[in-house]
Chains A and B, each alone.
Chain A
Amino acid sequence: MYKYILKRIAMLIPVVIGITLFIFVIMSLAPGDPATLILGTDVPYEEILAKREELGLNDPILVRYARYMWGVIQGDFGESWYSGYNVMAEFLSRIPNTITLGLLSIAIATFIGIPLGIIASVRQNGVIDYTTLVLAMLFSSLPAFWFGLMAQVYFSLRLGWFPATGADSFKHFILPAITLASGSLAGNVRLTRTSMLEVNKLDYVRTARSKGASERRVILRHILRNGLLPVVTSIGGSFATLIGGAIVTESVFAIPGVASLLINAVKIRDVPVVMGIIVVIAVSVGVVNLLVDITYAFIDPRVKFES
């Protein structure tokens, strides 16, 4: 198994190199001289030249990329071009908020979504089923930022149940987490339901019934465990979507997390900051997918680690 994990991590390396190289190259080829952008046009030309030298912009692009990645391997993600802060330090100071938000919303999506999906499938074509399905359809189509915005207006500003912005206490995270979770919660409901109904039609479920198992037992012991396999995969897959949603959610609720760092950096083209965030997220998406595959192998005896 260790061999398999090592192999998977090794496979991650070309992917990370590929994506960072792509971003690095297009950011460098983009029109406009970064030194001029940083200093403005009012400064003497010498200063701009000096800034170019300082940023290492005079070297060929691949050299710059290699130099950057060499730094990354040593944990040095460089400094922000505009504000001069250390990218890694700034990132680390903001990541706890983003992780709290992410974990909380994964928990909501999983522990509410799956049971709802099970109930809907058991009561197939019943009132509960239709209500859940329609709501799930609705929520998976709502733009997260709009949902957040409206929830903020009603639950924070009008009713005063939750703080509207910030990240000072656990209470601050409830509304953002629900906002972020809404899409994947709806997805989990639908997937669990479909998957349970799908498994329900399989031969071995009929075998279980022919043994005299009660409906409850058939559902919990035979359908659920098999039916959850695709849900596990999807929860892993939704991690990437979640990051996308986190960006807008953090922005709506003004949570000082990674998102606001990124949005600002994107607007002013602060290359080291954007690059740093891309690297960290590409690696963590890869690691999460690996973790999901390992979990999967523990639930499903048919899956063997190929090494």
Chain B
Amino acid sequence: MAEKLLEIENLHVQYNTDEAVVHAINGLSLTLHKGELLGLVGETGAGKTTLALSILKLLPNQVGEITKGSINYDGIDIVAADNRTMRDIRGAKIAMIFQDPMTSLNPIISVGKQIHEVLDLHFPEMSKEEKEKKVDEILSLVGIQANRKDDYPHQFSGGMRQRIGIAMALVAQPELLLADEPTTALDVTIQAQILQLMKQLQQKFNTAMILITHDLGVVAEFCENVAVVYSGEIIEKGSVEDIFARTKNHPYTVGLFNSIPDLTTDADRLVPIPGFMPDPTNLPSGCKFAERCPHCMEKCKEQVPPMITKGTHSIKCFLFEEKGGNA
């Protein structure tokens, strides 16, 4: 196995709003190796974006707060790191691609200059010509003609803007790429292109990547490993094969599978998961999925189940404690 790149241990993040304290991440642990492609799956509000922002320490000022746990990136303690250290990491070592390409580019700066800025920030010794050359290179790598670099974001389509976002994230060749639902805002036909491009570039530069998505199909197709997030914690993780074999899954993952159409079976109805994710301002004390779980037991409501690992596959559920049967 390759070297560890990112190690998150028992992370807790909360948002302190005027009305209430929102517990967005509750004891999340995660390990990522160099060059690994991890898919992070979960519903809206599960804390996926919060996780990505915590890794970069870009949580909304004065509101978002890491209350407990550690994030270790390549020997650097991110939680304790000062601004200076974080600035050197952002963009150069860890880069991020955002969800909405329509709003994530500065509308009044040309796209070439926005990519150029990354180089200005992290390679001050590089000559201007060299930087220009790099900008042209990365643009053509993502499939945009270099002569369009003086154009402004509004002159590009959504898909092209996301390509620019990718170019901006990759121009400094970071070791870790955080892609936060990079294709959710795009047309289905464009989605596949963009994902293909990202995977291709990820392999070319041997970048590790966390692909955040709510789409199990995307994960099955593009990722090596999967982590399922529910209510701010990882409830199941493993290789794509482990999860998609569908022999042994967390009840929530089973629910996720049942709520997407499957052409191989002839079931004529989708089975949605009943109920909603627990209110993050008022979390239950036991398993967070207990209320919606068809297999809920008494102890589920009182105790948080442990993470049970068999080989590469881990599941956070009492059901697998001894018998290891399928839910």
Is there a contact between chains A and B in the complex with CB atoms less than 8 Å apart?
A: yes
Q: How far is the CB of B100 from chain A (nearest CB, A)?
A: 6
Contact partner, A212, options B91, B104, B107, B165, Cβ 8 Å: B91
B267 within 8 Å of A by Cβ?
no
The reply to whether B122 and A215 contact each other, CB–CB distance below 8 Å, is no
User: In whole angstroms, what is the CA distance A151 to B168 when docked?
Assistant: 55
Which of the segments A63-71, A110-118, A203-211 contacts the partner chain?
Answer: A203-211
The DSSP consensus for interface residues of chain A is: helix
Q: Given that A203-B100, A300-B108, A302-B152 are contacting pairs, would A210 and B87 also be in contact in the complex, using a CB cutoff of 8 Å?
A: no
B105 within 8 Å of A by Cβ?
yes
B154 within 8 Å of A by Cβ?
yes
User: In whole angstroms, what is the CA distance A124 to B121 when docked?
Assistant: 26
Q: Which residues of B lie under 8 Å from residue A212 when comparing CB positions?
A: 87-92, 118, 121-122
B88, closest chain A residue (CB): A212
A225 within 8 Å of B by Cβ?
yes
Contact partner, A208, options B88, B95, B106, Cβ 8 Å: B106
The reply to whether B168 and A211 contact each other, CB–CB distance below 8 Å, is yes
B252 within 8 Å of A by Cβ?
no
Interface string of A211-224 (1 = CB under 8 A from B): 11111010001100
The reply to whether B90 and A301 contact each other, CB–CB distance below 8 Å, is no
Q: Which of A201, A202, A213, A299 has the most CB of B within 10 A?
A: A213
Q: Which residues of A lie under 8 Å from residue B96 when comparing CB positions?
A: 207, 210
Interface string of A264-307 (1 = CB under 8 A from B): 00000000000000000000000000000000000111100000
Q: Which residues of B lie under 8 Å from residue A202 when comparing CB positions?
A: 103
Q: Which of A209, A214, A225 has the most CB of B within 10 A?
A: A209
Q: Given that A206-B104, A301-B107 are contacting pairs, would A211 and B117 also be in contact in the complex, using a CB cutoff of 8 Å?
A: yes
Q: How far is the CB of A180 from chain B (nearest CB, A)?
A: 32
Q: How far is the CB of B102 from chain A (nearest CB, A)?
A: 9
User: In whole angstroms, what is the CA distance A201 to B60 when docked?
Assistant: 8
The reply to whether B108 and A210 contact each other, CB–CB distance below 8 Å, is no
B58 within 8 Å of A by Cβ?
yes
A58 within 8 Å of B by Cβ?
no
B residues 99-125 in Cβ contact with A at 8 Å: 100, 103-110, 117-118, 121-122
Q: Given that A209-B90, A211-B168 are contacting pairs, would A301 and B154 also be in contact in the complex, using a CB cutoff of 8 Å?
A: yes
User: In whole angstroms, what is the CA distance A125 to B105 when docked?
Assistant: 28
A97 within 8 Å of B by Cβ?
no
User: In whole angstroms, what is the CA distance A222 to B113 when docked?
Assistant: 12
The reply to whether A203 and B108 contact each other, CB–CB distance below 8 Å, is no
The reply to whether A225 and B108 contact each other, CB–CB distance below 8 Å, is yes
- 25 examples of A-B residue contacts, CB within 8 angstroms: A125-B62, A204-B105, A204-B106, A204-B107, A206-B98, A207-B104, A207-B105, A207-B106, A207-B168, A208-B106, A209-B56, A209-B90, A210-B58, A210-B95, A211-B90, A211-B117, A211-B121, A212-B91, A217-B121, A222-B106, A225-B108, A300-B107, A301-B152, A302-B108, A302-B154
Closest 10 pairs (CB-CB, A-B): A212-B91, A212-B90, A211-B91, A203-B103, A203-B104, A301-B152, A204-B106, A210-B96, A212-B87, A207-B104
9 additional A-B pairs beyond A201-B60, A212-B87, beta carbons within 8 Å, are A125-B62, A207-B105, A209-B90, A212-B91, A213-B91, A214-B83, A215-B83, A222-B106, A302-B107
